[in-house]
Every structure is written in structure tokens, then in C-alpha cells.
Structure 1
Amino acid sequence: MNDAGKSTRNRAGAPAPTGEGLDARLVVERGAFRLDVALTAAPGDVVALLGPNGAGKTTALRALAGLVPLTDGHLRLDGAELDRTPPESRPVGVVFQDYLLFPHLSALDNVAFGPRCHGATKAEARAQAAAWLERMGLTDHAGAKPRRLSGGQAQRVALARALATHPRLLLLDEPLAALDARTRLDVRAQLRHHLAEFEAVAVLVTHDPLDAMVLADRLVVVENGRAVQEGTPSDIARRPRTDYIAHLVGLNLYRGRAEGHTVHVDGGASITTSEDLTGPVFVAFPPGAVTLHRDRPTGSSARNLWRCEVTGLETHGDQIRTALTGDLPLAADLTTVAAAELGLRPGATVWATVKAAQTHAYPA
């Protein structure tokens, strides 16, 4: 997010200043599942919780909203302890995945509901709601019931309703999941704009890496109830630390031990890299860096060469994603023409090459 006007934004991802923003350790035990995730954010930060289904993202969001009690840990917002504060008394706005607009109320009265609950008169609440709908570009739809709104319009009404109470913490649960692909593109851009203007803390839950990368300043990747990686979108995309993250950002990822420019990968293979490192490392490279040959190449400038077997082929954008096993399990992207010329099919033997300059090694 690029917004120079938000001077309070903590772009380095450091903990929020004492007394400002969010400071939480969310511990929730539900049967055999245990969530234990720490979250800190300064006013103006947008933090995305990213992870697979069942990782604990929604449980964390519901704990922040007060809908799930903490088993342990703490929850402080702007210095105030919220652990035992009822949900309705927390300065928190929530946009649920399905928006949960009141079906019998107009868009205007849906947005006015929050201010009314906070003591505003009906006229005051409606005036505030009208102003929010104008900001969202929905003035012409103020009198419409939710069933008459498009998915994008309903999402903006839900966002306006959450913001109308001036929350100090905005929670968004898969806010774009209910939209079709075309609408999603437009609404994502609009949501990014509105989050850029939001001066408090926003926490977004999503399993979509594009939503997370576009909307958030910092990502917290959650797997099995734990935060496995945290950082800016660019840091995480460049240096994934789990197979789940590598798959999301489209990289081949391996863990091994470096001795200079050679990394001995867990499983027996080795990879030559441009980095000179020692000790435990990760090595990553994109599928597009892989070149496939039907016969063992001679005279190739690539420092890495592995004998592999094709295990699967699928369309991936305008290319063919090829799954390979053998000396080094990996994915390779080829053009349709290249795949046809190689005669690729499951079970075929190929040789894979990758130049050392196209790999990226970093400490584990």
C-alpha cells in the first residue's frame, strides 16, 4: 500500500508503539485444535492473516471480535484491555464473508444501524450513513434493500456499516470471497483505496494470496494454529519458508545445507546457487527458470542438471505446468509449443536444467 499521508503506518512491521494500535496474543483451545498467534499493529497498518482452510485464521478473527473467548494470552487495543469486554462494547467493526446485511433494511438504514446503537438520533445516524454511502459511491442505492444490490455493492455497504461506528480495529473475513472474478478485480481496487484512508488497525483474513499481497502491508502466515512466517508481501514472496507459502507464490522450494555455492538438499540431490553460504538454508526458483530436454544436454551453461520423470501436466495461465519427480521433485512451466515439441506425457523421462543465477538461497 502506497500512501504517504499515513504517517503512523508501521511499514517495517515492528510492534505497535506502547498504548497505540493492536497488541495481542491469541490463544484459543477448541478440542484437539490450539491456536496460538501473536499480532501487533500500529494505527494505519493493514495486516493479513493468510493460510489454508482450518489453519485458525477465522478463529483468530473471531477472538479479536470477542465472538470466541481466549483460553490464554491477552488482547489490548490502544492500551485498553479487551479480553473480557463484550463484543458489542468493543471499538471493533467487522465485515463478514457473506456481509450479513439486514435484509429488511435499506442500504442507508443498514449503515445507520451502528451509529444508532452508539446513541445517535435517527436523523443523525441517517445523515452519517448517507455520508458513508456517498464515499462508497452508493448514493443512488441508498434506498435499495440488500437483495437488489450486486455483490460489489453489498460488500461496500457492509464496509460502510463497519466504518460508520469509527472503529479502532476493522476486521475483514474473506471480504472478496463471495464475488465473481470480474467484480472481485474492481472491488479489490476500491477496498484498497478505502483501507488506505483508514487511520486505525485493519486485520484481513484470506486464503487468496493476491488479496493479501494487494491489500496488506504485512502478512502473517498461519498453519496449524501457528504463525509460520511474518513480513511484508515482497519479503514473503521472495523468501518463502514453508511448502504452502512456496506453492502460493509459485516457487519451487527446498531445504538443505549449504557449503559455499552448493546446497545439499534434504533427500540427496544438490543445487548450485549464486550465493555463497554455509549452514541450513532454503533454495527457491520459479518454474519458469526450469528448461526441459528429452535427452541429456551437452554443452549447457546451466550448472544444475537432474534426471526426472513427468508425473502430471496442467494448464497454468498461457503455459503448461509440468510436475516432475526423480533426482529433484519440481515444477516447470513451458509454452504449449515447447511441451508439444518435447512430447511430454506422464511417465516420460526428461532432463531438467536451471542456471545457478536463477536460484535464490537464503538462511533457514
Structure 2
Amino acid sequence: MTTHPAPEGLDAHLVVERGSFRLDVTLTAAPGDVVALLGPNGAGKTTALRALAGLAPLTDGRLRLDGTDLARTPPESRPVGVVFQDYLLFPHLTALDNVAFGPRCRGAGRSEARTRAAAWLERMGLAEYTGAKPKRLSGGQAQRVALARALATDPRLLLLDEPLAALDARTRLEVRAQLRRHLADFEAVAVLVTHDPLDAMVLADRLVVVEHGRVVQEGAPADIARHPRTEYIAQLVGLNLYRGRADGHTVRLDAGPEVSTTENLSGPAFVAFPPGAVTLYRDRPTGSSARNLWRCEVAGLESHGDQIRVELTGDLSLAADLTAVAVAELGLHPGSAVWAAVKATQTHAYPA
């Protein structure tokens, strides 16, 4: 009789019912994969993470890790490491003893646990902070101590709950790069929960987008960025997104107007273009080569990085990114009547 080795990695169908909310999400990942869970507030990301950790019991479904059923395994007995958003370091313990806590809980002796902890802190570039308590650590240092504590138990599943959310912008940039290196070396499965698209795009191999407790789209970061399938995802990756029906190089939008595209499609379709592809005019342009032209009204303006994001309503609701100089030259303000133009070559249409 031939025996087959148990499949490695994560195989989970998480069904959790809490009051009127129902989470129903399938997650699979091979060792070495980093999966990011994305979604708006209340979508169920944290509930999914808690279910994986054993902190939220499954109502139904399955949870297997490296072929072992974990659905009824208590949290402390699961080969799972967790990095919480606020790190949850023990304030009375040094960095060394915080990291040693995990191995001690898994049965390691004090000396062995501290030796392992010291090695992890050195890998994190924190060898000189072994005796420091959390109040003496910066946000970035505390994050790395929390990561070292999670990894010191040699977990087969690493869960990261908004691991960079508590950091300021400058520290976040540095720690994100460090975290990417550590995750690249991690040989088991990592699941990252984040609301930040940049964290997800940089850190994860695959994105799973959850809305209202269900997966609405999953795939490689580049594919999702290029082919968003919901308004939330489009906003996340910074695109104007519409749904309609394609007939050749034209997509008749559900919202009303037509959009000319370079793709030749037939049937239900999405069409998207970045806010930076939109050109605004105060008067109807006569010399523009843009195939798409809509009469709009400025609904609002706000800073967006080094540009101004102009929200428009009218023939089509859309966003346009302009420089501050362009906004001033056009004299834009809420209520301004404008013409919005987009070249067909700057749109992207794909089957719905």
C-alpha cells in the first residue's frame, strides 16, 4: 500500500458566526508563502486571524496546518506565532526575556530559551538591547522584539496583525524593508492582516481581499492592482473603476456614458484608469486628442501626496490628480464646471 505524505502548508476554510456577522473565507498557502488579508473595517480580517490563532472558535469549516487538524487544538498548543498590532510585550521583562517567553512556554529550559532568544535578537539587529525593557525601546525596536518572540518558537504559521500600524512614517519605511527580509527567510506560512496597500504589495506574495466576511478577489499583487473587481479595491490601488458592457473598443457603463478603450472586448467588462490620466479643462477642448470627454463639476479637493485629488461628479463620477499649480491656474473650487478628458490609450478594459 502506497502512503502519501501529508500536504504541507495551510488549508483552511474559516466559518465564524458572531451575531449577525458571518465570516466564510477559504485560505490556502504553501510553506514560504506570505499571504496578505486586505479589506475595509469590519470586513472580517481580524476575525480570520483570531480563528487561525485559535482565539475565535470555528462555527464550521476546517483548519489544517501541515496536514494536522488544528480546529480543536487550544491556542497555546498550536505551532503558531502571533505579532499583534500593539506588540503586547511584557513591560516588566527585558527584551531577552520577552523573546525567551515563547520557547519557555513550549517546554524549553531557561538557559536554552535565553540562548535562543539572544540569537534571534542578534538576527534582528538588537543584540545591544537584550537587557532593555519595552519602555526604553523605540516603536521599530519593539516591533522587532515582538517578531523575534513570535519566531523563536519555530512556528509553522506566523500571523501578523497590522504589524506596522503603530509606527511613524519614517520608521515604517525602515521596518517594512527589514520585515520583508525576515519574511523572505521564513520557511513556513505567514498571514498578514493590513489595511495599507503598500504594506501588502511589498510584503506579500498573494493578496486575499475580504469584504462583508467573504473573499471578493485574490491573486498576485500586480494582478489585483491591474484588474480590481470592486470599488474598494480600485480605491485601494488608486484607480477609477467602472462596470459596463463592452462592444468592440467601447464600454457602455452601467453609470451611463461610454468609454473608448484600446482593448477589443464583448460582453460584461470593467474599465479602469488612474486619476493621473485625467486632464481637466474649464472650457470644452477643441484640439484634444482624447476620445473620452465628459462634462463634470468639482465636488471637492484634497491633498494627495504632492498633488491635489479633485473629486468630480456629472456625466461621470471620477477622481483626477493635478498639481497645485494646475489647480490654481484652472481656478478650481467646489462647484466649478469643468470638462474631463482621458485618452483611450490610458484606459484599461477587462472582462467582468
Q: Is 1:302 paired with 2:290? A: yes
CA distance in 1, matches of 2:235, 2:109: 51
Partner SS for 1:73: strand
CA distance in 2, matches of 1:160, 1:264: 53
Q: Is 1:83 paired with 2:66? A: no
Kindly report which structure 2 residues correspond to 1:52-63, keeping only aligned pairs within 5 A, or say none.
52-63=40-51
Q: Is 1:34 paired with 2:1? A: no
* 1:222 alignment partner in structure 2: 210
Please point out which of 221, 230, 246 is paired with 1:242. Answer: 230
Please point out which of 116, 119, 123 is paired with 2:107. Answer: 119
* 2:119 alignment partner in structure 1: 131
* 1:185 alignment partner in structure 2: 173
* 1:318 alignment partner in structure 2: 306
Q: 1:319 deviation in Å?
A: 1.3
* 2:221 alignment partner in structure 1: 233
CA distance in 2, matches of 1:19, 1:102: 36
Q: 1:299 deviation in Å?
A: 2.9
Q: Is 1:211 paired with 2:199? A: yes
* 2:154 alignment partner in structure 1: 166
Partner SS for 1:25: strand
Provide the TM-score with structure 2 as the length reference: 0.98
Q: 1:25 deviation in Å?
A: 0.4
Q: 1:318 deviation in Å?
A: 1.6
Q: 1:18 deviation in Å?
A: 6.0
* 2:326 alignment partner in structure 1: 338
CA distance in 1, matches of 2:257, 2:6: 48
Q: Count matched residues.
A: 348
The sequence identity of aligned pairs, in percent, is 83
Partner SS for 2:271: strand
CA distance in 2, matches of 1:329, 1:133: 51
CA distance in 1, matches of 2:108, 2:159: 23
Question: In the alignment, residue 153 of structure 2 is paired with which amino acid?
Answer: T
Partner SS for 1:161: helix
Q: 1:239 deviation in Å?
A: 0.7
* 2:316 alignment partner in structure 1: 328
Q: Is 1:95 paired with 2:62? A: no
CA distance in 1, matches of 2:258, 2:49: 42
Question: In the alignment, residue 334 of structure 1 is paired with which amino acid?
Answer: L
Question: In the alignment, residue 119 of structure 1 is paired with which amino acid?
Answer: G
Q: Is 1:194 paired with 2:182? A: yes
Q: 1:341 deviation in Å?
A: 1.2
CA distance in 1, matches of 2:109, 2:21: 45
* 1:70 alignment partner in structure 2: 58
Q: Is 1:282 paired with 2:270? A: yes
Deviations 1:154-193 (A, max 9, x none): 1101000000010000000000111111111111111001
How large is the Cα RMSD of the aligned pairs? 0.9
The gaps in structure 2 that reach 5 residues or longer are none
Q: 1:44 deviation in Å?
A: 0.0
Partner SS for 1:227: strand
* 1:142 alignment partner in structure 2: 130
Deviations 1:331-357 (A, max 9, x none): 111111111111111111111110000
CA distance in 2, matches of 1:330, 1:167: 46
Question: In the alignment, residue 167 of structure 2 is paired with which amino acid?
Answer: L
Q: 1:103 deviation in Å?
A: 1.1
CA distance in 1, matches of 2:142, 2:256: 53
Q: Is 1:252 paired with 2:252? A: no
Provide the TM-score with structure 1 as the length reference: 0.94
CA distance in 2, matches of 1:302, 1:233: 30
Deviations 1:48-95 (A, max 9, x none): 001111110000000000000000100000000000000011000000
The gaps in structure 1 that reach 5 residues or longer are 1-16
Please point out which of 6, 24, 29 is paired with 2:12. Answer: 24
Q: 1:268 deviation in Å?
A: 1.2
Q: 1:317 deviation in Å?
A: 1.5
Please point out which of 164, 168, 182 is paired with 1:176. Answer: 164
Change over 3 Å in CA distance of 1:18–1:275 after alignment to 2: farther
Question: In the alignment, residue 147 of structure 1 is paired with which amino acid?
Answer: K
